[in-house]
């Protein structure tokens, strides 16, 4: 890297297109003579379809076709593999079996959306219900998975039971988190159209290449026959990371009718069609000495999955073994299979609920020891990941604690619960640790310098609103010594160079090094042409005698000897300077453990007279290596902390206990934070480039922001009220004293 653009708070380069409406999302893309599709969902939790009466539906003017298991194109079901990311081993509309309430059982196609919607409402489907299991406590099928995407779900070191029993201070508590749903601003949408044996799909997906692989497999095509486009995505948080039935349905319908088909999920359908965060029940036992140092950690988690998507569950033990320095640890995970829709990744899967339980339990240890909770966190610091026996590549969590404490004014905190008050409001301050693994995958990029001086950067990566367009612009412009306005970034297209799923907070860490390499090599090639061509003002100079400023190559000793990138390309005679680069992790993972860390500080206020609980101040301090863009990174953290606030105080998906139907399937009943709920949030970064991790020194920032927030809020609530709430969300009735609750 040669310039100073890395880290600069550059405005989003795609911002103008988004605020003016020029950016087209999947549902916005026009198509010639399209059909509109509306999904009909099962109204039983388990059983069989016995009859489908299509008469009234087909009689609606504008209804063109009704697809059910009786006439839908045949497609096979495939088990989940990371490279073939079907979320459910259940191909849509292939038989009469119903596996969960909300399963797609029919598709109505109309000339207009209104016609299709009316036809769907008039379709009559009869069922033979079968006994269903939708409650964790009645589950008959419970598994004990060994691993989750490579992380151990059953783990031991030392003698944790003996160490726990021998500890001077023992905490044994159970924490629960409810089912939660993603609610991105853009509902999932797909536009599919066939051109002979080639399939073109506009999709709201976080992984165009994984989606391409699924379409190819489902329809027995070569990957080159499928193109998936997703240049803009209106949020995802994981629900658009893998492939769901509605995407296959759109392509099936387009194949059956010979016309483009546009399918947009309703907000209600988003609650059953694209995954969720499964509920968790977590028993945490912590044994500590009187000075708050952990001697034993035992973390037992029970979570839920579906019968048709059992590959995914909430891996809540995932951070426990490495986060603190306890010498004895035991982790267990149990997963109940139920007749419910399949869960999937939801922002910091595992870490978000896991840090709630572990962070709350550490706070309980602090109070049992009579110590400041922040001191207990400091005393359990470790420089080594004891789970894998490797040093951390970089771990500045102590600096996060210190900077956060100073900025938050932690030294003014009194220790006792209910000891801080402002008028009739009780005030509480809480703290917890944030963490998320630093992940990296194979990534590729192509950098092309054209004769007019435009620099094209291309990769099949994605921007969910995370700032990828802007960050890649900065990396390329910095390496090339170019004006950012000369950079054009193209992403979200499966025909572009390889990129991984936009999940696991790894996109910048994976694709960024490839862009850096390609841009650096393109710069070197341009300098070679400029110094070797007799027609160039730089002819005869050595490469180290040339600098590049704002896209102009010039002699360091005499800046009047200069030539722009476009003119250099013309001198080269090849039509363009084009460099394709591939970046991948090496063997550094055998020497270091890669994680990011942070500290979450929260203030709450509780008015006992009206049972009003508010988060009134939040501060997050994060150690994520080099920050690529301080503005977009801060935005990510603001979103993550807000996400955590919703998790702690508001969000809960409720199912009908008899039928499995989601009864909170709208934004009136499923409560999300709005502007009035969100307090002033301060975000700070402890910047230390992690060059052991990748050449940029940058780790991901997308998901760590939510981790630790729920624990910090729960801990602040205890400090304010003296009530320890171990079951999310923390609604006001959980804080009422028995006398008040009886009123």
As a whole number of angstroms, the distance between CA 535 and CA 268 comes to: 65
Helices 630-649 and 351-369: angle between axes, nearest 10 degrees: 70
Q: Across-strand partners of 330? A: 156, 298
Residue 509: pLDDT above 70? yes
User: Could you report how far apart the first and last alpha carbons of the chain are, in Å?
Assistant: 66
Residues annotated as catalytic are 703
What is the residue-averaged pLDDT of the chain?
A: 97
- Beta strands in 341-459, from DSSP E residues, in sequence order: 384-385, 390-391, 421-422, 425-437, 443-449, 455-458
Q: Which two tokens stand for residue 369?
A: 């020891």
Q: Please write the tens of the pLDDT for every residue from 424-461.
A: 999 999 999 999 999 999 999 999 999 999 999 999 99
CA distances (Å), 629 to each of 448, 469, 474, 685, 695, in order? 23, 11, 8, 11, 16
Backbone angles phi, psi at 600, to 5 degrees: -110, 125
Euclidean distance between CA atoms 447 and 673, whole angstroms: 41
Which of 173, 138, 200, 426 has the alpha carbon at shortest distance from 285?
A: 173
Q: Give the pLDDT confidence score for residue 737 in this predicted structure.
A: 65
Least confident of 69-73, 300-304, 737-741: 737-741
> What confidence tens digit (pLDDT) does each residue in 102-122 have?
999 999 999 999 999 999 999
**Average of per-residue pLDDT across 227-242:** 98
Distances in Å between the Cα of 738 and the Cα atoms of 124, 723, 743 are 49, 12, 9
CATH of 31-131+185-235+240-273, one of 3.90.1170.50, 3.40.50.2300, 3.30.365.10, 3.40.50.300: 3.90.1170.50
Q: What are the boundaries of each domain within the chain?
A: 15-22+441-584, 31-131+185-235+240-273, 280-439+590-741
**pLDDT band with cut points at 50, 70 and 90 for residue 635:** very high
pLDDT in tens, 476-508: 999 999 999 999 999 999 999 999 999 999 999
Backbone Cα Rg of the chain: 27
Contacts 24+ apart (CB under 8 A), 210-216: 210/83, 210/84, 210/85, 210/242, 210/243, 210/501, 211/85, 211/243, 211/247, 211/494, 212/494, 213/83, 213/84, 213/85, 214/78, 214/84, 214/85, 214/86, 214/243, 214/247, 214/248, 215/247, 215/248, 215/251
pLDDT surpassing 60 at residue 739: no
Q: What is the pLDDT of residue 741?
A: 47
Query: Does pLDDT of 329 surpass 60?
Result: yes
**206-232: per-residue pLDDT in tens?**
999 999 999 999 999 999 999 999 999
2 has a pLDDT exceeding 60: no
Q: What is the pLDDT of residue 3?
A: 59
Statement: residue 157 has pLDDT above 50: yes
Q: Would you state the pLDDT for residue 736?
A: 86
Q: Binning pLDDT at 50, 70 and 90, where does residue 137 land?
A: very high
| CATH of 280-439+590-741 given 3.40.50.10470, 3.40.640.10, 3.30.365.10, 3.40.50.720 | 3.30.365.10
Question: 306: burial class by Cβ within 10 Å (0-12, 13-18, 19+)?
Answer: buried
Q: So what's the pLDDT on residue 168?
A: 98
pTM of the model: 0.97
Q: How confident is the model at residue 308 (pLDDT cuts 50, 70, 90)?
A: very high
Over range 551-564, report the average pLDDT.
98
Check pLDDT > 50 for residue 743: no
Give the pLDDT band of residue 657 (cuts 50, 70, 90).
confident
**Phi and psi torsions of 161, nearest 5°:** -65, -45
Cα atoms in the Cβ-side hemisphere of radius 13 Å centred on 554: 14
Fold of the 15-22+441-584 domain: Aldehyde Oxidoreductase; domain 4 (3.30.365)
| Averaged pLDDT, 389-406 | 98
pLDDT band at 740 (very low <50, low <70, confident <90, very high): very low
Q: Say whether 31-131+185-235+240-273 and 15-22+441-584 share the same fold.
A: no
pLDDT in tens, 8-60: 999 999 999 999 999 999 999 999 999 999 999 999 999 999 999 999 999 99
- pLDDT for position 742: 43
User: Could you tell me the maximum CA-CA distance found in the chain, to the nearest angstrom?
Assistant: 92
- Contact criterion met (CB below 8 Å) for 598 and 701: no
The pair phi, psi for residue 322, each rounded to 5°, is -110, -15
Per-residue pLDDT band at 256 (split at 50, 70, 90): very high
């Amino acid at each position: 890297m040669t310039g100073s653009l890395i880290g600069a708070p550059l405005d989003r380069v795609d911002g103008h297109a988004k605020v003016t409406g020029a950016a087209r999302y999947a549902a916005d893309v026009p198509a010639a003579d399209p059909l509109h599709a509306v999904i009909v969902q099962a109204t039983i939790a388990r059983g069989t379809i016995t009859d489908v009466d299509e008469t009234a539906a087909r009689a609606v003017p504008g209804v063109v076709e009704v697809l059910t298991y009786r006439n839908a194109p045949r497609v096979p079901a495939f088990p989940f593999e990371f490279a073939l990311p079907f979320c459910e081993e259940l191909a849509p509309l292939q038989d009469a079996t119903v596996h969960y309430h909300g399963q797609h059982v029919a598709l109505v196609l109309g000339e207009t959306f209104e016609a299709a919607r009316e036809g769907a409402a008039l379709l009559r489907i009869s069922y033979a219900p079968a006994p269903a299991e939708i409650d964790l406590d009645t589950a008959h099928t419970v598994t004990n998975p060994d691993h989750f995407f490579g992380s151990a779900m059953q783990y031991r070191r030392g003698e944790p039971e003996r160490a726990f029993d021998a500890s001077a201070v023992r905490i044994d508590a159970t924490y629960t988190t409810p089912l939660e749903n993603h609610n991105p601003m853009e509902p999932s949408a797909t536009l599919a159209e066939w051109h002979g044996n080639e399939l073109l799909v506009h999709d709201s997906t976080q992984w165009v290449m994984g989606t391409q692989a699924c379409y190819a497999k489902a329809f027995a095509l070569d990957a080159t026959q499928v193109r998936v486009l997703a240049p803009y995505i209106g949020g995802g948080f994981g629900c658009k990371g893998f492939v769901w039935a509605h995407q296959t349905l759109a392509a099936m319908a387009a194949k059956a009718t010979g016309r483009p088909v546009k399918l947009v999920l309703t907000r209600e359908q988003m609650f059953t069609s694209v995954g969720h965060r499964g509920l968790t029940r977590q028993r945490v036992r912590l044994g500590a000495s009187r000075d708050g140092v952990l001697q034993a950690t035992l973390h037992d988690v029970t979570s839920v999955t579906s019968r048709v998507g059992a590959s995914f569950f909430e891996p809540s033990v995932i951070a426990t073994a490495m986060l603190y320095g306890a010498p004895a640890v035991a982790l267990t995970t149990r997963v109940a299979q139920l007749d419910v829709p399949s869960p999937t990744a939801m922002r910091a899967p595992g870490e978000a609920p896991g840090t709630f339980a572990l962070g709350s339990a550490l706070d309980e240890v602090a109070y049992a020891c009579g110590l400041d909770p922040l001191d207990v966190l400091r005393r359990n610091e470790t420089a080594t990941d004891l789970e894998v026996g490797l040093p951390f590549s970089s771990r500045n969590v102590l600096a996060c604690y210190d900077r956060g404490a100073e900025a938050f004014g932690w030294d003014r905190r009194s220790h006792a619960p209910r000891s801080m008050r402002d008028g009739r409001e009780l005030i509480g301050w809480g703290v917890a640790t944030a963490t998320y693994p630093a992940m990296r995958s194979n990534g590729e990029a192509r950098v092309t310098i054209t004769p007019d001086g435009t620099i094209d950067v291309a990769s099949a990566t994605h921007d969910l609103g995370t700032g990828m367009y802007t960050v890649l612009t900065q990396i390329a412009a910095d390496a090339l010594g170019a004006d950012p306005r000369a950079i054009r970034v193209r992403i979200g297209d499966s025909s572009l160079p390889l990129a991984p799923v936009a999940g696991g907070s790894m996109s910048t860490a994976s694709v960024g090094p490839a862009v850096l390499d390609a841009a650096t090599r393109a710069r070197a090639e341009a300098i070679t042409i400029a110094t070797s061509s007799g027609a160039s003002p730089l002819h005869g100079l050595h490469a180290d005698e040339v600098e590049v400023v704002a896209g102009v190559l010039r002699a360091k000793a005499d800046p009047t000897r200069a030539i722009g990138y476009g003119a250099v390309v013309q001198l080269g005679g090849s039509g363009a300077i084009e460099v394709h680069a591939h970046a991948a992790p090496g063997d550094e993972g055998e020497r270091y453990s890669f994680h990011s860390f942070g500290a979450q500080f929260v203030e709450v206020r509780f008015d006992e007279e009206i049972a009003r609980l508010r988060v009134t101040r939040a501060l997050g301090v994060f150690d994520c290596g080099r920050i690529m863009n301080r503005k977009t990174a801060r935005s990510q953290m603001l979103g993550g902390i807000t996400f955590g606030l919703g998790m702690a105080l508001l969000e809960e998906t409720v199912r009908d206990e008899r039928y499995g139907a989601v009864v909170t399937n709208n934004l009136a009943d499923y409560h999300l934070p709005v502007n009035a709920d969100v307090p002033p949030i301060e975000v700070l970064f402890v910047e230390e480039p992690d060059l052991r991790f990748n050449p940029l020194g940058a780790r991901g920032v997308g998901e760590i922001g939510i981790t630790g927030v729920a624990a910090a809020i729960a801990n602040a609530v205890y400090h304010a009220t003296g009530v320890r709430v171990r079951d999310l969300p923390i609604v006001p009735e959980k804080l009422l004293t028995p006398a008040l609750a009886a009123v």
